[in-house]
Amino acid sequence: MRAMRIGVITSSYPISPVDTVTAGVFVRDVALELVALGHEVHVITPRKHGTYTPDDELHVRFIQWWGGEKDLASASMYNLPTIARYATLVGSGLWSVPHYARTHSLDAVLAMWAVPSGLWAWMAWVRWRVPYGVWALGSDIWARHKYPFGDAIVRRVLRDAAFRFADGVQLARDAAELAGRDCEFVPSVRRLSAR
């Protein structure tokens, strides 16, 4: 297999290798595994508060927005300031992800989660035909109605993806039903240090 330039887009990414609070730990491990397979990996993620400790093997690009102090999964869509912050994130990602994919000649994109990362990957596909895949989360599928246009966005993102993954058997079935296309069950794993 030839080495590729792969974009990994995620709303969950740790600010340091010791940050183990979010699903981003798993995302970091996936990115590092792609590097170990010989690929050039570019992680695109929202800026978070705190000092970022880089991994030398990864290229990390931050999406600028009016947030960063709280993880997105716990954000309330009934709070006007939260909605405004989330809107800046979605808008910034819709512009910056396709631009980054084009200027860095990405061969493919892996969106870690259908919302908002999958939406950004979909836009890179629409604008520049950069193929993408989606790793679906339960919240993408089962809580999609809590976001404005969430159902339509998740369906479109999953349907147009070149491939779909989910880390639960029922989740993969539900994602496949929404997409009208196959979704592979792939269990999520983490690298653990030997102590």
How far is residue 143's CA from residue 139's CA, in Å, rounded to a whole number? 5
Read out DSSP for 27-62? Answer: HHHHHHHHHHTT-EEEEEEE--SS-----TT-EEEE
Q: What is the pLDDT of residues 159-168, one digit of tens each?
A: 999 999 998 9
Q: Show pLDDT as tens, one digit a residue, over the chain (195 residues).
A: 789 999 999 988 888 777 766 667 789 999 999 999 999 999 999 988 788 888 999 999 999 888 766 556 666 667 788 888 888 999 999 999 999 999 999 999 999 999 999 999 999 999 999 999 999 988 888 888 777 788 999 999 999 999 999 989 999 999 999 999 999 999 876 666 655
Q: How far is CA 20 from CA 14, 56, 120, in A?
A: 7, 19, 25
Structural domains in the chain plus CATH codes: 5-185 (3.40.50.2000)
Predicted TM-score (pTM) of the model is 0.89
> How are beta strands 108-112 and 184-185 bridged, if at all?
unpaired
